Amino acid sequence: IESEDLQYDRERARKASLRYFEKMQKDGVVDVDAVFACNDDMGLGARSAILHLEREGVQFRRHLGIVGYDGVKEMRDYLDNHDRWVIGTIDVKLKEQISRCLDIMQMMIEQGVRDGRVELVDPVVYRV
């Protein structure tokens, strides 16, 4: 199920997750396998929704895994501490991407080149 545009916001993701999980709930059990979040904040919002529902007595039929995107410290900390819900994140090395981009832009300006070279930054996958 794809959500509406949540603008990469943790609280919006939390509220949307609550709505989706409650719709999928049957007899106090939610049947969902995983959540893939477009960024880690949204993944953390989904995690918050899961914890809330658990406190309300809702159960999940299977172990639900959350995978985020960004590799933020909070997600990596959950992984390092073997969090029950967070199973992975992808660090896209944003600072390195920005640095390379600025270098390429500077070269393009200095050399009057319109087509810059492409340099890919390999992501780092963190997982349980």
Phi, psi of 89 (to 5 degrees): -155, 160
pLDDT tier, 48 (very low <50, low <70, confident <90, very high otherwise):
very high
pLDDT tier, 67 (very low <50, low <70, confident <90, very high otherwise):
very high
CA nearest to 41, candidates 67, 9, 6: 9
Q: What is the pLDDT of residue 2?
A: 85
Q: What is the pLDDT of residue 119?
A: 80
Strands 29-30 and 59-60, sheet pairing: parallel
Quick one: average pLDDT of 88-92?
A: 94
Quick one: average pLDDT of 54-64?
A: 89
pLDDT at residue 87 is higher than 90: yes
Q: Where are the alpha helices (DSSP H) in 25-93?
A: 40-55, 73-80
